[in-house]
Amino acid sequence: MATSKRTFEAALERVRRSFELCVYGYVVMPEHVHLLLSEPQMGTLADALKSLKQGVSRRLIGEGVHFWQKRYYDFNIRNHRQFVEKLRYIHRNPVKRGLCERAEDWEWSSFLQYATGCEGRVEIECEWVARRRERAAGRLCPAKELPHSSQKTA
């Protein structure tokens, strides 16, 4: 199952780049995934999800792995409170299901990037990424590496 989870993350990052959408959070569970996404700049969300599903399926077809359920369920976020609620739900899902003791222990999630700034396999829209972009554009001073810093890259 670890191979299919990594395959999913690679496909999600590819779709994020090609459709220019923002990934705010995700978790890959044993039998489903949760995604918190923006509308893409290129194409439609339906096209982006179709590309994601097809990309994962094509890469896993030879392994006989059935990754996707028949359909997806969507929920439109209407305010900041709902955004925070859904993001917390996504990150806490593995703990609630008993798959790990703490959210940071689940490898296939965006939680660590939110909590520590460690770059994951999928770029997440969070304050750490915003700061990196601002530094790259010359709008912030360079980051200072501290001996005990949790800002190390993965």
pLDDT of residue 81: 92
Residue 143 placed within a domain: no
- By C-alpha distance, which of 103, 10, 8 is closest to 57? 8
pLDDT of residue 154: 45
Could you count the other beta carbons within 10 Å of the beta carbon of residue 9?
21
Residue 18 placed within a domain: yes
Residue 145 placed within a domain: no
Q: What is the CATH number of the domain that holds 61?
A: 3.30.70.1290
Number of domains in the chain: 1
Residue 142 placed within a domain: no
Distance CA 28, CA 13 (A): 14
Q: Which domain holds residue 119?
A: 2-136
pTM for the model: 0.77
Residue 147 placed within a domain: no
Distance CA 114, CA 7 (A): 21
pLDDT of residue 100: 93
Q: How far apart are the first and last CA of the chain?
A: 21
Residue 13 placed within a domain: yes
- By C-alpha distance, which of 116, 148, 67 is closest to 103? 116
Reading the chain (154 residues) residue by residue, the pLDDT tens digits are 567 788 788 888 898 888 989 889 999 888 888 999 988 888 888 888 888 877 777 777 666 556 656 666 788 889 999 999 999 999 999 999 999 999 999 988 999 888 887 888 888 886 766 677 667 767 656 666 656 655 555 4
Residue 146 placed within a domain: no
